[in-house]
Structure 1
Amino acid sequence: MPSSILESFSLQDKTVVITGATGGIGLEISIALAEAGANIISIEIPRDPSSLELRRAIEATNHHITVFECNLKDQQSIHDTFAAIWKSGDLDDVMSINFRGTYLCIQEFGRELLRLKRPGKIINFASIASFLAQTNISAYCSSKAAVQNLTRAVSNEWAGRGITCNAICPGFIHTKMCEDLYNNEEFSARVVARTSMGRWGEPQDLRGLAVFLASRASDFITGESIYIDGGIMGR
């Protein structure tokens, strides 16, 4: 048991495996986890141009980062990547990356934890679109709904083995991927009007929850999908 409440949030000497670490949200969360004490293993697409920025950011926290390249749409690539770790658009694409990639990573990660009889924490990224269907992005909504229900299913299966599984569900977050929408005055005004806090979220807004779900402070929490949306789903 941790000796203090602050110690319960510490990730000192822990190792975090994260996919999508070079993106706006992923980068911010990776830095937060490193600042909380964790060493980072980043699974990235081959020749990711943002990889150098991630490395520099993590090394600035005086923590270690190891990078593995992986095609998250290919089962063999995921299997080979996790084997190495343990030793040391359209509907098809959206489902392959958002859901199938998530499913296969959980499968590989969990299989080894169960074999070693070790506890672990899985944090998925779903979305408010998991619950709130929106026009023109049906593939995205479907994939994120699948991730949300996968989170619940995995939590039910593995909770008794010391493995928790939760999901973070962001609302509208200002990242490079959403830059065009953010700069669209009409669309951005609708987002702000729907958000109780009256603004877009920033990647930094997700840091605290990610550290909490990765730490011992959340040991009795599993199967939850938690909104970070400025109040959209509270209406």
Structure 2
Amino acid sequence: MEKNIMAAPLDTSLFNLSGRTALITGSVRGIGQALADGLAAAGARIVVNGRREAAVAAAVDRLSAQGCAALGSVFDVSDEASVIQAFEALDAQGIEVDILINNAGVQFRKPMVELAVEDWRRVVDTNLTGAFIVARQAARRMIARGRGGKIINIGSLTSEAARATVAPYTAAKGGIKLLTRAMAAEWAQFDIQANAIGPGYILTEMNTALIENPEFDAWVKSSNPAGRWGRPDELAGTAVYLASAASNYVNGQIIYVDGGWLSVL
């Protein structure tokens, strides 16, 4: 006779990030800033990253003024030497990154037949190769410490579907989905969970030209079941989940936060 097994109540402490340190690349504005706010609210200490010292310092001051623990790390994700130096500086301060969010990214719109190789490389180097460079440094340290960690890569709707004029971005974000799976394949044995978030059309500075284009704005709202653009803060809950113990058996996945856009034709 089968036993009547009662489900245990949800342990909300699973989502508590107190005592954890999260490095979020490209976190001085936009989606990165919203993710920093979300993880900080869950208790994490935030390492803010950007390429400009003044912008990073301002972002750290903003978080600190809200009572959050934060510090800055200035580096370019596409510059391997810069990334190595930044991690060595964190090592020297005794700061151990438990959570990495690879968020830094750039966009460039031009038809492929007019696209210069240097522009292709700039987008791919930042959005895809940069995620590999930073994650490799973080994972080496997570493995050496022996207590696992969390890596969250920021993908896109273009991890799944293409649009004209953004070929390098599409290639890079498609690569993010498979890079995430490669990380899971190699690092799961070390209790490192690598997952990705695929934002839909989000109200960010990067999308300003699209937001201000009446035709494109109308298309986003009419083609999305939610009938609107997403907000950066609407990605924070998924990030907290993937950064927390609640997702300890989730690995190699990409979660689309898109209002249902990929679910319809």
**Range of TM-score over shorter length:** over 0.9
2:115 pairs with 1:109:
no
Residue-by-residue CA offset, 1:108-167 (whole Å, 9 max, x unaligned) = 100111122121000000101011011000000001111110000101111111000000
Instruction: Kindly indicate whether residue 11 of structure 2 is the aligned counterpart of residue 5 of structure 1.
Output: yes
Equivalent residue, structure 1, for 2:256: 227
Among 64, 74, 77, the alignment partner of 1:72 is 77
Write the deviation string for residues 30-62 of structure 1: whole angstroms up to 9, x where unpaired. 011111100011222133x53344223311332
Contact 1:35-1:61 within 8 A present in 2 as well: no
Native 8 Å contact 1:91 1:139 kept in 2: yes
Residue 39 (structure 1) aligned to one of 36, 45, 53: 45
Find out whether 1:93 has 2:99 as its counterpart. Answer: no
SS of equivalent to 2:43:
coil
Could you tell me which residue of structure 2 aligns to residue 183 of structure 1? 212
Q: Which residue of 1 aligns with 2:150?
A: 121
Counterpart of 1:28 (choices 31, 34, 47) is 34
Partners of 2:202 and 2:231 within 8 A in 1: yes
**Segments ≥4 residues shifted beyond 6 Å:** none
Tell me how far apart the structure 2 counterparts of residues 84 and 118 of structure 1 sit (CA, whole Å): 21
CA gap of 1:233–1:191, structure 2 versus 1, over 3 A, is same
Output the TM-score relative to the length of structure 2: 0.84
Q: Which of 184, 204, 220 does residue 233 from structure 2 map onto?
A: 204
Q: How many residues align?
A: 232
- For residue 234 of structure 1, report the CA deviation from its aligned partner: 1.0
How big is the shift at 1:91?
Answer: 0.7
**Which residue in 1 is equivalent to 2:67?**
62
TM-score normalised by the chain length of structure 1: 0.94
Please, which runs of 5 or more residues in structure 1 have no aligned partner?
A: none
Higher Cα Rg, which structure: 2
Identity of matched residues, %: 34
- The root-mean-square deviation of aligned C-alpha atoms, in Å, is 1.4
CA apart distance, 1:87: 2.5
Amino acid at match of 1:218: S
How far apart in 2 are the matches of 1:132 and 1:161?
Answer: 32
